Amino acid sequence: MKTIIANRYSLLHKLGEGGMADVYLAIDTILNREVAVKILRGDLATDPVAVLRFKREATAALTLNHPNIVQVYDVGEEEGQHYIVMEYIKGITLKQLISKRGALDKQEAVDIMKQLVGAMVHAHKNNVVHRDIKPQNVLIKDDGTVKLTDFGIALAQNVAQLTQADAVLGSVHYLAPEIARGEAASEQSDIYALGIVFYELLSGNVPYQGEAPVQVAMKHLREEIPSIREFNPTIPQSVENIIIIATAKNRINRYKNTSAMASDIETCLDPMRAHEAKVVFENLVKNDQPTLVLKTNDKPDPKVKQKEQLSMDRLLAVSLIAFAIVSLAALLFLTGFGPFNSNVESVTIPDVHKNTIELAKMQLENEGLVPASTYKYDWSYDVEKGKVIGVVEGIGNKIDSGSEVTLIISEGLLYKVENYVGRDADEVLALLEEKGVKVRIQRRYTSEYPANTVIEQAGLVEGDEIKTSVYNEIRLTISMLSEMEVPNVEGLSVEDAEAELVSYGFLVEKIRLDANELSEGELAIIGIGVVTQQYPKEGEPVSIMGDGIVELYYY
């Protein structure tokens, strides 16, 4: 294997290896810093599913920027070798910390959860569902900072993993019941995993264990989570309530979003919540303790309630059969076999607005769409040149998986000219400079406006639409005081000096000196047509009411 990636990253030694990729410590030779480089295993480089997952991790991480998420610096492919360059974290995984110390103190556990949930609030706000939250994917820096990593798990792979005992052991302990049944992952699935991690931090063990992954999955489906307060009675009920809500079997009963969970964790150790009643959902009320009943919005249907009385064995059998069918379907879909090849899945076109072309292509590919080889070009009010405005088919629209999607690329920024009269001149000049507009200035005294105010504009008027990357010129007249300090124009050409002084409202008198009085050496130093002296000097006040004259001396 190459020891230099992209002529920039020098691999030092292997940090670890996983089922799909190996991670190396490397030096970024340009920025002279340590980085972690994740490289897709060579035997998987031709596996489209593995490459898709690897690209998905890169795409997801590139959209995130949070102090508790491992930062991705670079993504690429070189000679068939896919790699991701990430922030290098010196520390251990959260799993290693739990294995070493067992149950953590409740304050330390809450501090870790605040950071971990905060990371997921940011991810969810950016429409990224992690799908594989577990202590193995959480790094702890030496200073206690939490860093969440590995955003590469796909929903289809989560379904398929339950049929692969060697691939599921790391994830099944944190798997939401709906995922085990083959349903789609969601923010609530991540919330469930966060609840399991919280339990593990406080107890030192996962709540559900079994000899085989399927046994663990069955417990997620049918068994309520053990009481953390039975393990440690000093843990406040307010803390246990967070675990109960987060790990509710029905995702409707869980936190609406991670922001709500974060708010609950923020105050869970407050003394005012020390005697909080235990959360028990309506169909799970016990009579031997105070309860806080949480109801769903809909009243229970008697028919539904009757169905819920079916024996657990029958319900479990139906669930496992359904799960097996969904798992087989996922495997057939991923491998391209079976009748599923003829079914066309509907997918949503992702939001590629303002992204680079490369990132937009990766987003489309991750959704099973095909980026067109040609682009459409247009001008944009908010997307800089060379980046993606959108797609011809429309962001957010649903189309068939495998469809070709055409990116719309920005040719440059558009700007709609405003009415600048009455506005501060410095503010207007800075704005126009940013938009690439050439400004020609004339200054004039007026008693109607404060000094340094735009009093007239010409060339471009309000409502004109201009392309900022082409030449545009506007003429502005700016108000000035009746008396102004003379600027320094010595060293400028006579023409430039005169133009600057006139723009301020001064009258100019040019006085040419006899060049014969100078030696050739002096003339070479001073130059012909260059202002050598001015009068009045820089900073001296001069009236601009018609009698303020600035004299320019030159050879």
Nearest CA-CA partner of 393 in 343, 348, 442 = 348
Read out DSSP for 311-352?
-HHHHHHHHHHHHHHHHHHHHHHHHT-SGGGG---EEEPP--
Check 22, 28, 111, 132 and give the catalytic one: 132
Query: Is 351 annotated in the active site?
Result: no
Alpha-carbon dihedral angle through residues 499, 503, 505, 506, given to the nearest 10 degrees:
-20
Q: Any bridge partners for residue 508, and if so which?
A: 550
Return phi, psi of residue 418, to 5°: -105, 175
- Print burial letters for 404-421: b (CB count within 10 Å at least 16), e (below 16): ebebbbbebbbbebbebe
Contact 156, 163 (CB under 8 A): no
Contact 160, 327 (CB under 8 A): yes
Give the CA distances from residue 146 to residues 24, 111, 229, 260, 309, in Å, rounded to whole numbers and listed in that order. Answer: 20, 9, 25, 20, 44
Give the CA distances from residue 17 to residues 23, 72, 169, in Å, rounded to whole numbers and listed in that order. Answer: 6, 18, 16
Contact 440, 473 (CB under 8 A): yes
CA distance 544 to 546: 5
Q: And the tokens for 116? A: 């971990």
Alpha-carbon dihedral angle through residues 140, 144, 145, 151, given to the nearest 10 degrees:
20
Q: And the tokens for 47? A: 């596996």
One-letter amino acid identity for 223?
E
Tell me which residue has tokens 């990357």.
469
Tell me which residue has tokens 């292997």.
14
Give the residue numbers marked as catalytic.
Answer: 132
